[in-house]
Structure 1
Amino acid sequence: MKADKTFLRVALLLSVPLILVGCGPSKEVLQREQDLFVQAWDKKSTCGNTENDAPAARAIVEKDRLRGLTRYTTADAPESMADRTDVSYMPGHGTQISYTSADGRSWLWYPGNSRILQGRWKLDDSKDYLQVCYDYGPGTRNPMMKDAGPGFQCGNFQHQNVFMLDTKRGDVFGLTSARVVKPLPRDAAKPYSPGCAPARKPLLKNGNPPIENLQKDLKGFLAPAG
């Protein structure tokens, strides 16, 4: 694999990420991700912090129904994808920040990358379960997988939401017109991740949800393109 190729988010779509020798996270990290998947489907399990019980947390969830959900359904899919900024954190990939527009375009800010990836997204209901699909074009690769093939790469819609920390309407970080000044730190969102699943979301720190905290933490990392 060439070291200069850009990483893209595909492992979020997979229930069993692939392991490549000498590339990607360790077996222990991948096992941790698998454990979180199992916890997420156990409805008896939950986690969070005391701030999520505060009126401020309830007010955030009321403003945007999708915040606070531990499991999305297929009925949530269009709303969760159209004109949305999402922040996720998983042990293998670290922090990922994305924006998906209502017209099927997508932008991804991935740790270490020198640019914002631009691609496409779509929903596919041709299988027994709803799939969400991404296409970031040739020359991209995933550190857990081989080079991405041509066209859309699809996976279970519900799986990508296991590691979702926060979501908010609109292009919050301005990814559609931004250039990278400093690469996104891999663990930027780690302080706002509960490290367990399913979690009450958003996980508040200092009274703020992850996206608002990261807007402060990452000030100066992006600038307008051009």
Structure 2
Amino acid sequence: MNKIRALLLGTLALALSASAPLAAGNKPYIIDYAETKSLFVNKTMVTYDRAHGTQVEYIAANGKTYLLYPGNKVVVRGNWKLSKTKTPKVFELCFKYGANTYNPATGNSGGGWECQAAGFYLVDVVDTGEGDVLGLAAGKEPPFELSRRKASLQQLLRLAARSR
């Protein structure tokens, strides 16, 4: 899984680097919309940053997303989209959660789209899995209470197995 992360980060870093438009061998390599979208669709993403701690999100192909946030007693349901920007070959990954949600790191309430460059999202990715490996879309109750501590997907899968 760490190899996948390195590949994702390397590919997106090349795509987002406006100051270095050429890849090895002086051949241009720019990731397109479909390839960028494939990095997210039907994936369980484990991210970590100091503000939020570890978060786990299943990003479904139908535009739905299911977030397991540290300390939450429910899986937060939302929507996601990948949007084109004014900058060619740079895309924004956007999430929208219910109006009754709150982001403690930013102080923002939910209900509106929050977007960032797709590459910036990938910088915080610790691990990924194909599909909804923790069953977040299946129910409102999370498989376990998520800690803020940095964790790999394998660690979280073991925790889920012990919690059943």
Identity over aligned residues, as a percent? 31
Gaps of at least 5 residues in structure 2 are: 16-30
Higher relative contact order (CA 8 A, sep 6+): 1
- Partner SS, residue 68 of structure 1: helix
Q: Does 1:162 align with 2:123?
A: yes
In 2, Cα distance between the equivalents of 1:218 and 1:120? Answer: 24
Structure number with the higher strand fraction is 2
Q: Deviations over 1:77-129 (max 9, x none)?
A: 21111100111111221110010111111000000001001110001103323
Q: How many aligned positions are there? A: 140
Q: Pick one of 87, 101, 104 that aligns with 2:63.
A: 104
The one-letter amino acid of 1:214's match is: L
Rate the CA distance shift 1:170–1:148 in 2: closer, same or farther, 3 A: same
Rate the CA distance shift 1:143–1:83 in 2: closer, same or farther, 3 A: same
In 1, Cα distance between the equivalents of 2:123 and 2:149? Answer: 17
Q: Deviations over 1:152-193 (max 9, x none)?
A: 11111111111101112111101001313642111151xxxx
**Coordinate RMSD, CA, aligned:** 2.2
Aligned pairs for 1:76-87 (under 5 A) are 76-87=35-46
**Contact (CA 8 Å) 2:100, 2:111: kept in 1 or not?**
no
Gaps of at least 5 residues in structure 1 are: 1-56, 190-209
Q: Deviations over 1:199-218 (max 9, x none)?
A: xxxxxxxxxxx322321134
User: Which residue pairs with 2:18 in the alignment?
Assistant: none
Q: Does 1:211 align with 2:153?
A: yes
Aligned pairs for 1:142-161 (under 5 A) are 142-148=103-109, 150-161=111-122
In 2, Cα distance between the equivalents of 1:180 and 1:102? Answer: 20
**Contact (CA 8 Å) 1:188, 1:214: kept in 2 or not?**
no
